[in-house]
Amino acid sequence: MNQPRRVENLQTDKGRVPVYATGIVEQPWADYSAVDHDVWRQLYERQRQLLVGRASDEFLVAQDAMGMSPDRIPKFSELNRVLRDATGWELIGVEGLLPELDFFDHLANRRFPVTWWIRRPDQVDYIEEPDLFHDLFGHVPLLMNPLFADYMQAYGRGGVKAHGIGPEALVNLTRLYWYTVEFGLIRQQDGLRIYGSGIVSSKGESIHCLESTAPNRIGFDLERIMRTRYRIDSYQKTYFVIDSFEQLIDATEPDFTPIYARLATQESYPAGTVLESDRVYSRGTGEGWASDGDV
Ligand SMILES: [Fe+2]
C-alpha cells in the first residue's frame, strides 16, 4: 500500500490531528495488499454481525443496496455508480482529514471525501484518525438514504456559512455533526438503534452506546446539542436520539445565525450533563432494546 501524504499536525478543536494534502486522489485500488483486504474483511464481518439488531434498518438496508461486501475493499468507482443513481452523491478519494472549509465545500456539492488507506492489522480495534473503514463502512451507506443525503448536504452548506461567521459558530455546528452524523442514535419502532458512523465502525462503542448504563441517551434538541461539549478520547458520555431523519431535516432548515448569536452568550455544557428539560431514554431492555420514554 502507498503511504498517505501527511502534511503536518495541527491543533484543532478535535485535538491534535494530522492534516493531509487536500487534493482529490484516485483510489489506488490495485495497490491494496492481501493484508489490506483482509483487514477490511475482518472488520466488515465483525461489525455486520454486531450491527444486526443494533444499527438502524436504514443503515443495514443501504449498505446491502450499495453492494458492499466483506470479500474485498470496494472500488469507489463501482460504489459511485450506485450512489449517483440513488441520491446524486459521489465519493472522492482523499489522503485523510481535510481542513474544515474544504470538507464543507465537498459536502455542499454532494461529494463525500473517503480516506483511501486502511488501518494496519494491529489497529483493528482502535485507530485515532479516520481511515477507509470508518469512512466507507461507517459514513457512506446512509448517503443512499434520500433524507440523510439531503441532511449531509445541508450540513455542508451550513458549514461554509458558519466558517464565514467565525470560530464560535463553527464549534456549535461541529457539535451537531458530532452528535448526529458521528454518534447519533435513532428511535425505531422496536427500540433505539445506531446510525452514527463513529459508532457503527467501532465494536466497543456499538455495544456501549446501547447496552451500558453509563452514558446518557437524550432526545434530540438542536440548541442543546450545539451547547454540549464532547469527548474525542473515550466513548461518549451522551448520545442524542432522533425520532426520524425528517427531524434532522426540519431542525436544519432554519437559518442558524440567530442561534449562534444566542449561544455565544451562554455557557456550554460538559459532555455528561443531564438537564431537567432533557428527555432521557433508559437503556434498551430485552431483545428489541425498547426505549420506554422518560425516566
Ligand atoms: Fe467520521
Q: Where are the domains of the chain?
A: 10-294
Sign for the CA dihedral angle at 12, 16, 20, 26 comes to negative
- Helix (H) / strand (E) containing 261: helix 257-263
| Confidence at residue 129, expressed as pLDDT on a 0 to 100 scale | 84
Catalytic annotation on 78? no
With beta carbons less than 8 A apart as the criterion, state whether 216 and 193 touch: no
How far is residue 224's CA from residue 275's CA, in Å, rounded to a whole number? 10
Ligand 1 centroid vs 194 CA: distance in angstroms? 14
User: Is-catalytic flag, 33?
Assistant: no
Q: Which of 56, 95, 134, 205 is catalytic?
A: 134
Which residues participate in the annotated binding site?
134, 139, 182
Is residue 37 annotated as a catalytic residue, yes or no?
Answer: no
Long-range contacts of residues 58-62, Cβ cutoff 8 Å, at least 24 apart: 58/142, 58/145, 58/148, 58/195, 58/245, 59/141, 59/142, 59/193, 59/194, 59/195, 59/200, 62/141, 62/142, 62/143, 62/144, 62/145
Q: Can you tell me the distance from the alpha carbon of 104 to that of 221, in angstroms, rounded to the nearest whole number?
A: 22
Given 56, 197, 201, 206, the catalytic residue: 201
Counting beta carbons within 10 angstroms of the beta carbon of residue 179, is it exposed (0 to 12), middle (13 to 18) or buried (19 or more)? buried
β-pair type (191-194, 90-94): unpaired
Task: Report the CATH fold assignment for 10-294.
Answer: Phenylalanine Hydroxylase (1.10.800)
Say what the pLDDT of residue 292 is. Answer: 39
Helix (H) or strand (E) holding 282: none
How many angstroms separate the alpha carbon of residue 8 from the centre of ligand 1? 20
**Ligand 1 center from residue 113 Cα (angstroms):** 10
Q: Distance from the CA of 136 to the center of ligand 1, in angstroms? A: 9
Angle at 87 (CA atoms; ends 85, 88), nearest 5 degrees? 70
pLDDT at 282: 75
Q: E-assigned strands of the chain?
A: 6-12, 15-20, 90-94, 111-115, 185-188, 191-194, 216-219, 238-242
Query: Nearest CA to 233 among 285, 184, 198?
Result: 198
Q: How far is CA 63 from CA 60, 276, 287, in A?
A: 5, 38, 23
> Catalytic residue among 58, 139, 197, 291, which?
139
Positions of the chain with pLDDT lower than 70, given as ranges = 1-21, 283-295
Any bridge partners for residue 290, and if so which? 285
- Sign, CA dihedral 175-270-232-10, equals positive
Ligand 1 midpoint to CA 4 (Å): 18
CB 211 within 8 A of CB 199: no
Classify residue 122 by its DSSP letter.
Answer: G
Q: Is 139 a catalytic residue?
A: yes
Q: Rounded distance, CA 199 to CA 182, Å?
A: 7
* Residues 215, 284 contacting (CB under 8 angstroms): no
Q: Which residues are annotated as a binding site for Fe cation?
A: 134, 139, 182
Residue 286, pLDDT score: 33
